Amino acid sequence: MTTATKGPDVPSPPRTPVAQPPWQRLHPRMVVVSVSWLAGPAAALLGTMFLARDLLNTHGWIVLGSYIVVAAVQAGHEWVRYRTTRFRITDGEVELHSGLLFRTDKSIPRDRVRSADLTANPVHRLFGLAAVRVGTGQHTGKSEDDELVLDGISRTQAVRFRALLLNRGGPGGGTDAAPALPVPLARLNWSWARYAPLTVTSLAGVLAVVTGASKLLDTLGLDLTDSRVARDTWERLDALPLAVAVAVVAAVLLAIGVAGSLVSFAEAWYGHRIEREPEGSLHLMRGLLTSRSVSVAERRVCGVELSQPLPLRAVAAARLTLLATGLGGPAHRFAGPAQLLPPAPLDSAHQVTADVLNEVSSPIARAELRGHPRPALRRRLVRGCLLAPAAAAALAGAGTAAGLLPWWSGAAAAPLTAAFGYLLARDAYRGLGHALSGDYIVVRHGTFVRRTVALRRDRIVGFTGRQSYGQRRAGLFTLTATTAAGKGAVRIRDVDVRDGLCFAEAALPGLVAPFCAPEPPPAG
């Protein structure tokens, strides 16, 4: 028998600990930046108090004192946030610790980072600061668990962190190498400003000015009827004929709306450009007072959406939005990081689409859309010519009963609404369409805002079909392509059941083949 003898213990070599990057803090200037949101209301308050000093009372001084107290509380809160917040980027994670009474610890794996949004408002830029918003999925901006925000770091540090997050490099590597030159894809054309008054910005500008002025006067406890300027203006309008007075007021409001839309266009899109970076990401930059710089990895790009409100459609113009994982959902669609172009001519939008998707031509421009069956038109005619007039007549009848409308308003509302609804129903039906365009599916719908989506077929997770009672009777259903970008779904409305299933099978072969198979002939 052989006996094994245990020799002397040999000490194993000590493990070398992996050096972790040190924790970092926010910039102390962020304490001053935090109270910047009070500067605008305070300036308007002081200006109003100076102009209306003859009407000023104790209530106005109380409001001014309240602003000072709020500014002090906000500055104290920001000082606590500065002292208790620390962050770092390691080889595998992005970590953030913050909070004094309620501690918050966030840790996001770097392989989950989908986008990095760098923003800097005027006060940020004045103090050389910026904010980096790290996106991890389609619900960015709707759930705090899906994002990490570093607000109040230096702009140089923010640019370095953004490049570090998207390049997937180590926390200290790749920052000293000479960067390769990006490839420009699009730049702002100032002639596009002519389309700005055709968007909702004009109406929003008028409403914002009127609402803000009324709230400010109400806050100070001031009554316009006590102002000599207001009384003189009202007397001059009252002396004019009614039609002329209405035209003058409408012209003034229209001028305010147009001016507001042009100013908003210049502020939002100044310096706009799209570039393709050498490391394989799209870089979007724009903004005059508040600058925004967004980088999206190209492997996260799923497609684009072309939207045309009625005024833009009348002049052959459109807006262009990028569909990519990590760029946010519906809350960011109007002026968020996903918007590629301001209102621009269709030719320019198609060219930018081809460049961004790295295609020879735009999938939307070359797609031959298939129309939908006639029952889809019938469904829209029912809603536009029956349901809408009935609702309008009911509202007019309620207004007549309350003494707000004349007796004939109910009889006139129904036929006018029916005629308008008929035109909209026909237009909505003509807007329906779907097609396969190379590696993309193209879907179009809408009338007030016509949307055309080009979605990569390999970014589709699956298809879902749903039928309402009316759709079952008409032989139609709604086919939904599920994806991780945008709203998370692209819907093909009121499509024939067999045509929709065959379309889904052609887009993703083998997925719905059992539903498209023809029925076997009867025996004998």
Is residue 196 located within the same domain as residue 306?
A: no
Is residue 258 located within the same domain as residue 380?
A: no
Range of the domain at 195: 191-269
Res. 466 pLDDT band, cuts 50 70 90: very high
Is residue 57 located within the same domain as residue 168?
A: yes
483 or 278, higher pLDDT: 483
Measure the CA–CA gap between 346 and 319, rounded to whole angstroms: 9
Res. 138 pLDDT band, cuts 50 70 90: very low
Res. 140 pLDDT band, cuts 50 70 90: very low
DSSP state of 289: S
pLDDT average, residue stretch 6-27: 62
76 or 5, higher pLDDT: 76
Is pLDDT of 410 > 50?
yes
Q: According to the model, what pLDDT value does residue 6 have?
A: 45
Is pLDDT of 329 > 50?
no
In a domain, 97, yes or no: yes
Measure the CA–CA gap between 192 and 6, rounded to whole angstroms: 85
Among residues 397, 357, 391, 14, the alpha carbon closest in space to that of 186 is found at: 357
What does R_g of the chain's alpha carbons equal in angstroms? 30
Which residue, of 234, 269, 304, is where some domain finishes? 269
pLDDT average, residue stretch 463-471: 91
Is pLDDT of 34 > 50?
yes
* Alpha helices per DSSP H over 188-290: 201-220, 228-239, 242-269
Is residue 437 located within the same domain as residue 508?
A: yes
Average pLDDT, the chain: 78
3-state SS class at 262: helix
Is pLDDT of 330 > 60?
no
Measure the CA–CA gap between 178 and 174, rounded to whole angstroms: 9
In a domain, 127, yes or no: yes
pLDDT average, residue stretch 49-61: 61
Is residue 344 located within the same domain as residue 379?
A: no
Number of domains in the chain: 4
DSSP state of 3: -
Is residue 392 located within the same domain as residue 494?
A: no
Could you tell me if 498 and 477 are in contact, meaning their C-beta atoms sit under 8 angstroms apart? no
Is residue 331 located within the same domain as residue 410?
A: no
End-to-end CA distance of the chain: 83
Is pLDDT of 518 > 80?
no
In a domain, 9, yes or no: no
Amino acid at 151: D
In a domain, 2, yes or no: no
Q: According to the model, what pLDDT value does residue 245 have?
A: 83
In a domain, 426, yes or no: no
Measure the CA–CA gap between 185 and 282, rounded to whole angstroms: 9
Among residues 118, 288, 125, the alpha carbon closest in space to that of 193 is found at: 288
Is pLDDT of 178 > 70?
no
Measure the CA–CA gap between 256 and 250, rounded to whole angstroms: 10
